[in-house]
Amino acid sequence: MKSTVRVLLIGAAGRMGKTIVDLARTDREIDIVAQCDLGDPIETAMEDCDVAIDFSHADAITEICRAALHCNKSLVIGTTGHSQAQRQTIKEAARSLPIVLASNFSVGVNVLFWLTRKAAERFGDDFSAEIVEAHHKTKRDAPSGTAKTLAELLKAARKIENEIPIQSIREGDVVGEHTVIFKGPEERLELTHRAASREIFARGALRAAKWVMGRPPGLYSMQDVLGL
Ligand code: NAD
């Protein structure tokens, strides 16, 4: 029988936090032993967990990394919108701890990442690339973390420094939609992912929490978790 992963959930009162709590009730390998939200002390809550899952706000990351280093715990980070300095804080923590950092935990989007890289490698310089993303009106960061990841993949695959144009749409209660558009002479390819519910991200985050336990220190992606 597989052992249970004891989880501290940070951002527990938010949309993703609540979705994770609901999903974890049906998962025998996950036990949410502590929950934190804005104003709660993170380090005390971290003492009794194996893995901390963060779906809160980018500004929480310094305290989360400090607590994880002090308590020697693994991290699964789903929060997006980190600044360069905050990303550096995560990278430094990953020298001592196993950390999964993913702008999107869904299987479909991670396959989209894979397809985007492959398509960009195949299309020559005759093809331009752009990204369109849509999310609910209350999403705080724009462009989305997923759109930024797609842009980084495209730049790396095309070996260019120019920024990839990203159009961000904020409307209604859209959970998340991302389209990568390749435009060439007389033809166009569009790769689209549409999320129907937040459960896909929650399921991926719990899968990452089980995967990260006992790994060597390092900064891992959801593609590492999925073996893509
Ligand atoms: P939300 O606003 O509904 O919830 C965020 C929660 O975090 C709130 O309850 C808030 O009070 C809490 N919070 C804010 N600052 C905090 C702090 N310093 N310490 C502890 N808690 C704090 O947002 P959401 O839709 O649940 O999304 C949360 C984050 O996850 C966002 O950055 C979002 O972009 C990201 N997200 C990532 C994925 C993914 O797959 N990686 C999927 C969906 C959302």
Is residue 139 flagged as an active site residue?
Answer: yes
Place of tokens 């430094």: 92
Query: What is the per-residue pLDDT across 81-95, written as a single tens digit (0 to 9) for each?
Result: 999 999 999 999 999
Residues ≥6 apart with Cβ < 8 Å to 69:
93, 96, 97
Per the residue annotation, which of 139, 148, 193, 210 is the catalytic one?
Answer: 139
User: Model confidence over 188-198: pLDDT tens digits?
Assistant: 999 999 999 99
Residue of 23, 42, 56 best suited for mutating to test ligand 1, as the one with most atoms within 8 Å of CB: 56
Nearest to 171 by CA among 198, 143, 139, 141: 139
Catalytic (active site) residue 135: yes
Whether residue 98 has a cis bond before it, omega within 30° of 0: no
Ligand 1 pocket check for 102: Cβ under 6 Å: yes
**Count of CA atoms in the C-beta half-sphere (13 A) of 166:** 21
Weakest mean pLDDT among 26-30, 49-53, 132-136, 138-142: 138-142
What average pLDDT score do residues 37-46 get? 95
Which of the four pLDDT bands, split at 50, 70 and 90, describes residue 1? low
Written as six digits, the tokens of 57 are 């706000």
Amino acid (1-letter code) at residue 178: H
The H or E element that residue 190 is part of is: strand 187-195
> Rounded mean pLDDT of 5-30?
97
* Side chain identity, residue 112: L
Phi, psi of 181 (to 5 degrees): -115, 125
